[in-house]
Amino acid sequence: MDIVLLLANLGLALIVAPLLNGIIKKSKAGWQNRQGPGILQPWYDILKYISRESVISEHASWIFRFAPYVYFGAHLAAAGLVPMVLIESPLSGVGDVIVLVGLLALARFALALAALDTASNFGGMGTSRELAFAALVEPALFLALFALAIPAGSTAIGALVGDSGVTVAHVLAAGALFIAAIAETGRIPVDNPDTHLELTMAHEGMLLEYSGRPLALLLWGTQIKQLVILSLLAAIFIPWGAAGDRSAASLIVGLTAYMLKLGLLGLALALVETTNVKLRVFRVPELLGAASLLGLLAITSVYLVGG
């Protein structure tokens, strides 16, 4: 484990995650002919919530109080598993894609327990929807990642990075992972991160009982999760420009390429949100089922046509 690289990854994730969310919001507003918030607005929101005290229900237990730290910590640990500027992953010897998906599941489980802890109607409704979506999106994630891991002979994230060849399995897995990314980041057409309307919200319903510093951690953790998923897509399917060594020139090129790739993927998410409407809850399984089918076809193509 490389401590310097790990600290650099974590620091970059902490700083860039809110900026990425700001770029997505600004791009979405531009395509909708609105001015929209500035790209620094997510940072302003986090700082605002950090400066405020938290109001906690008298019925809340220790689960409600500790869940934001588990949620934030799990996503920050996931950021240490994914290559960003460099091709290598700082925690490559500690975890693989199974651990990565497991950390995402741990964060979701902690937040689900906290949402149920206060017996809020909105929390229960949001939790039921979020976990129903998770039960469908996690198989899609595993199938797509296994389709890439089988030819590589390893589930290590580093083994999946650096292969710029375009194969049938790569194309199908890319489609499955992009749909899974939309679901995991809670964006249209699966969920709407910009509303608290009870008929549409899933993830947002789990946050309604939080305020102040815990809410800042939850929002920040969600933005880091979004960064992790997009960084994984960029590392696997757009590996060009990533630094292969730690020379100053390579790091500058790698950082520039990484930011451009994140920006392009963020624009893609904003475009999907702009050109689609939110699906009814009972239609979401069809979309997530399509992602699982793409992942299954990707695995099949590995054995039939050699990837």
Is residue 33 pLDDT above 60, yes or no?
Answer: yes
The more confident residue out of 17 and 115 is 17
Residue 242 pLDDT class (50, 70, 90 cuts): confident
CA pair distance 171, 20, nearest whole angstrom: 25
> Under a CB-based contact definition with an 8 Å cutoff, are residues 15 and 225 in contact?
no
Is residue 257 pLDDT above 60, yes or no?
Answer: yes
Is residue 201 pLDDT above 80, yes or no?
Answer: no
Residue 98: domain span? 3-305
Residue 247 pLDDT class (50, 70, 90 cuts): confident
> Under a CB-based contact definition with an 8 Å cutoff, are residues 242 and 253 in contact?
no
Residue 250 pLDDT class (50, 70, 90 cuts): confident
Residue 200's pLDDT is 58
The more confident residue out of 297 and 124 is 297
> Under a CB-based contact definition with an 8 Å cutoff, are residues 230 and 264 in contact?
no
Is residue 114 pLDDT above 80, yes or no?
Answer: yes
Model confidence pLDDT, tens digit, residues 79-105: 988 988 888 777 777 778 889 999 999
Which residues are paired to 243 by β-bridges?
86
The more confident residue out of 33 and 12 is 12
**Mean pLDDT along residues 156-179:** 80
CA pair distance 237, 164, nearest whole angstrom: 7
pTM of the model: 0.89
Length of the chain: 307
Which residues fall within 8 angstroms of residue 282, CB to CB, at 6 or more apart?
none
Residue 199's pLDDT is 56
- How many domains are there within the chain? 1
Highest averaged pLDDT of the listed ranges 10-24, 127-141, 185-199: 10-24
**Mean pLDDT along residues 12-41:** 88
**Mean pLDDT along residues 113-125:** 80
Residue 271's pLDDT is 87
Which residues fall within 8 angstroms of residue 10, CB to CB, at 6 or more apart?
76, 79, 80
CA pair distance 151, 75, nearest whole angstrom: 28
**Mean pLDDT along residues 132-153:** 87
Output the CA angle 86-87-90, nearest 5 degrees. 70
CA pair distance 209, 225, nearest whole angstrom: 21
CA pair distance 81, 101, nearest whole angstrom: 11
Residue 115 pLDDT class (50, 70, 90 cuts): confident
